[in-house]
Chains A and B, each alone.
Chain A
Amino acid sequence: MANVTRVTTTKAVAANRSTPLVEVHDIRKNYQLGEMKVHALRGVSVNIQAGDFVAIMGASGSGKSTFMNILGCLDRPTSGRYFLEGTDVAVLTKKELAHIRNQKIGFVFQGFNLLGRTTALENTELPMLYSNTSKNDRERRAREALVQVGLGDRADHFPSQLSGGQQQRVAIARALVNQPRMLLADEPTGNLDSRTSVEVMEIFQKLNTEGLTIILVTHEPDIAQFAKREIVFRDGHIKRDDAVEVPHVAREVLKIMPTIKD
């Protein structure tokens, strides 16, 4: 991490010494589903340091998605506290949360969620529409982000003209374009074949090496092995929270993986 160039990274390293990037205390989340009260999270506490690469595992209904939504400031906990870079997020207004999502968090979804009939470049520009960035800056930074994910030559393509892996890379470029503190990926490889999945992991590992904090929700144990740390949810609790002994290196895995032939 000595030769990092990204501004984010420098800030993240500084934050690393004082407070964790994410600090969660005894978070609970209850839903009212008709007559039934659902306890999605029953007291979750966890710290995530800047520069970490965390895989969150768990069966469906374990609370991992709810946890991700709270981390991503899309939802607020029923009780408990969540500090993002030392800021208590639970007390912020909807508008302030939108600003935090815009500036500090990048989302990558399972279904890519690109806007149809909109070019890769325009999709990548999307977060900057909501951060008062001039048109020239928007285009320049979006192109840079596309180059970062290896799609510099696909800027003017529409999602329908791109493969699944390429679409997911556009989504990653979109998540990176505002230089967030952390990347939240919800089952990013769920719709991709195994080789493309590893390719996405390669990008994540590269970004992580450059200092970006990544939190990845997945139900595939193989994919979790590319992370540095593995947190397993069950019934709204953290069941296990371990460092991955020897994380797989995506670049190496790709070398021994057979290329898919048509």
Chain B
Amino acid sequence: MDFSSAFGLALRALGRNKMRSGLTMLGLIIGVGAVIAVIGIGEGAATAAQEQLTALGSNMLFIGSGSVNRYGMHVGSFQTKTLVLTDARAIVRECPSVSAAAPGTGTGQQVVYGNENWATQVTGTEPQYFEVRNWPFAIGTSFSDDDVTQAATVAVLGDTVRKYLFGSRNPIGETIRIGTLPFKVVGVLTAKGASPGSGQDQDDVIIAPLTTVQKKLLGQEWLRWIMVSAVSRQASYVAQQQMVSLLRDRHKIRSGDPDDFVVRNMADMADAAAEQGTVMTVLLTIVASIALLVGGIGIMNIMLVSVTERTREIGVRMAVGATEEDIRLQFLIEALVLGLIGGTIGVVFGVTSSLAVSQGLGWPIRISAYAIALSTVFAMATALFFGFYPARLASQLNPIEALRYE
């Protein structure tokens, strides 16, 4: 029997029992649909995390003033006073793998504009900060190096702060009050969203010249952190080593004693995120395999029932000249068609439900052709695998007994 007639035969056989065929396929439909939806959600989340890390700058390093063990007491991070502006200058000067460094400090402050007020973090830094963090302006510009030298009371707003203080109004040129001091707004940053590490809103911030924050808001000379940009992502590990040895040297830390600062490497975080992605993929694969296994068992079950029910038909077919291969092919193709139709409906179901979740919950979802192809192929392979035993059983029937079967 040729393939196309076998295919037509299978379609009609399944069409005669639509309800049952539909229920048989349900397992595969749900399996394939779930795989596509879950992979879509997983990949969407991974992509979003990756994008946020890239936005943060994957070649970025962060040096924070550290915790230190003083008289047997552990003092929390950002507590040492040893990290200073000259450290930042020295890093740029002496570490060849570093392209830029932005020193900074910060303080929580109440800000007021007109009737609106908002509690936020005020970051003091230098203009290169925006470059290191790869953070473009929505409107306006950065403060200048002169503003830093003169400790000018100018400010750049994060998007969240702009929203709460100004709503739809243009804040450029307006004066806000931070603590007790009036500041002139010179720029607004683009929205960056939540931090991939801590989940903090990165846009809930005001950025002002380092010296202004140090002298007029904090009254401190030391730095809380330095943001460093390595020349490339690959160079970030070398840059880390160079900075650690330079800072230990400058802070006169004896070998064996702990650092009085901490260094965090964004490349590490990116790697960690990638690893999480791998773990997720493995878990999803297991879930998908179980779903398809259950679907496959459903197919096998129904095919076995079908073979028993159609024993006489098989007998007749054999009597009129069907070979064992013909019978086996017929039932295999029926299983395959179940897999194909079930897989296709599953794809449609998976894509629609992903889109619904994406719309309804606002989750970032990425439906990849890879997931669709993979789950369809697996659905068909499962159907074939579980269809083989019933098909073989049918082909091994004795025609005489099959014809007599009641």
Contact A101 B403, beta carbon cutoff 8 Å: no
Q: Does A165 contact B (CB under 8 A)?
A: no
Contact A72 B316, beta carbon cutoff 8 Å: no
Q: Does B259 contact A (CB under 8 A)?
A: no
Contact B16 A117, beta carbon cutoff 8 Å: yes
Interface residues of A in 44-88 (CB under 8 A from B): 69, 72, 74-75
B2 contacts across to A, CB distance below 8 A: 132
Contact of B321 among A103, A109, A117 (CB under 8 A): A103
Q: Does B57 contact A (CB under 8 A)?
A: no
Which single residue of chain B is at the shortest CB-CB distance from A186? B403
A107-B399 Cα distance, complex, nearest whole Å: 12
A18-31: CB near B (< 8 Å → 1, else 0) gives 00000000000000
Contact A129 B5, beta carbon cutoff 8 Å: yes
A95-B324 Cα distance, complex, nearest whole Å: 7
Given A109-B403, A130-B1, A101 contacting B313 (CB threshold 8 A): no
Contact of B403 among A113, A115, A127, A178 (CB under 8 A): A113
Contact B323 A113, beta carbon cutoff 8 Å: no
Contact A95 B323, beta carbon cutoff 8 Å: yes
A174-B5 Cα distance, complex, nearest whole Å: 18
A103-B320 Cα distance, complex, nearest whole Å: 9
Q: Does B317 contact A (CB under 8 A)?
A: yes
Tell me the smallest distance from the CB of A64 to a CB of chain B, in Å: 14
A130-B324 Cα distance, complex, nearest whole Å: 11
Contact B312 A113, beta carbon cutoff 8 Å: yes
Which single residue of chain B is at the shortest CB-CB distance from A122? B12
Interface residues of B in 215-230 (CB under 8 A from A): none
A87-B154 Cα distance, complex, nearest whole Å: 107
Contact B322 A113, beta carbon cutoff 8 Å: no
Given A115-B313, A135-B5, A74 contacting B321 (CB threshold 8 A): no
Contact B320 A130, beta carbon cutoff 8 Å: yes
Interface residues of A in 103-136 (CB under 8 A from B): 103, 107, 109, 113, 115, 117-118, 126-127, 129-132, 135
B321 contacts across to A, CB distance below 8 A: 98-99, 101-103, 127, 130-131, 178
Tell me the smallest distance from the CB of A130 to a CB of chain B, in Å: 4
Contact B320 A127, beta carbon cutoff 8 Å: yes
A94 contacts across to B, CB distance below 8 A: 323-324
A127 contacts across to B, CB distance below 8 A: 320-321
A109-B315 Cα distance, complex, nearest whole Å: 12
Size of chain B's interface in residues, with CB distance under 8 A?
23
Tell me the smallest distance from the CB of B3 to a CB of chain A, in Å: 12
Which single residue of chain B is at the shortest CB-CB distance from A123? B316
A69-B404 Cα distance, complex, nearest whole Å: 12
A135-B315 Cα distance, complex, nearest whole Å: 23
Interface residues of B in 287-339 (CB under 8 A from A): 312-313, 315-326
Query: Considering residues B2, B316, B320, B399, which has the most beta carbons from chain A within 10 angstroms of its beta carbon?
Result: B320
Contact of B319 among A95, A101, A115 (CB under 8 A): A101
Which single residue of chain B is at the shortest CB-CB distance from A118? B12
Q: Does B400 contact A (CB under 8 A)?
A: yes
Which single residue of chain B is at the shortest CB-CB distance from A66? B400
Given A113-B312, A115-B313, A129-B5, A74 contacting B320 (CB threshold 8 A): no
Contact A98 B403, beta carbon cutoff 8 Å: no
Contact of B317 among A109, A126, A131, A132 (CB under 8 A): A126
A99 contacts across to B, CB distance below 8 A: 321, 323
Given A95-B323, A98-B323, A101-B321, A129 contacting B316 (CB threshold 8 A): no
Given A69-B400, A130-B326, A107 contacting B320 (CB threshold 8 A): yes
A113 contacts across to B, CB distance below 8 A: 312, 315-316, 319, 403
A178-B403 Cα distance, complex, nearest whole Å: 20
Contact of A74 among B5, B319, B324 (CB under 8 A): B319
Contact A98 B322, beta carbon cutoff 8 Å: yes
A72-B403 Cα distance, complex, nearest whole Å: 13
A98 contacts across to B, CB distance below 8 A: 318, 321-324, 326
Contact B399 A102, beta carbon cutoff 8 Å: no
B320 contacts across to A, CB distance below 8 A: 101-102, 107, 126-127, 130, 174
Tell me the smallest distance from the CB of B367 to a CB of chain A, in Å: 39
B5 contacts across to A, CB distance below 8 A: 129, 135
Interface residues of B in 46-85 (CB under 8 A from A): none
B323 contacts across to A, CB distance below 8 A: 94-95, 98-99, 130
Query: Considering residues B321, B324, B326, B403, which has the most beta carbons from chain A within 10 angstroms of its beta carbon?
Result: B321
A20-B313 Cα distance, complex, nearest whole Å: 33
A113-B315 Cα distance, complex, nearest whole Å: 9
A261-B5 Cα distance, complex, nearest whole Å: 44
A129-B318 Cα distance, complex, nearest whole Å: 11
Tell me the smallest distance from the CB of A250 to a CB of chain B, in Å: 26
Tell me the smallest distance from the CB of B315 to a CB of chain A, in Å: 7
Which single residue of chain A is at the shortest CB-CB distance from B315? A113
A117-B5 Cα distance, complex, nearest whole Å: 17
A117-B310 Cα distance, complex, nearest whole Å: 13
9 A-B pairs within 8 Å (CB atoms) are namely A98-B324, A101-B321, A102-B320, A113-B315, A113-B319, A118-B12, A130-B320, A131-B321, A135-B5
Shortest beta-carbon contacts, A-B, top 7: A102-B321, A127-B320, A130-B321, A98-B323, A113-B316, A107-B319, A101-B321
Other 12 A-B pairs with CB < 8 A, given A101-B320, A115-B316: A72-B319, A74-B318, A74-B319, A94-B324, A95-B325, A99-B321, A102-B321, A103-B321, A107-B319, A113-B315, A130-B321, A130-B322
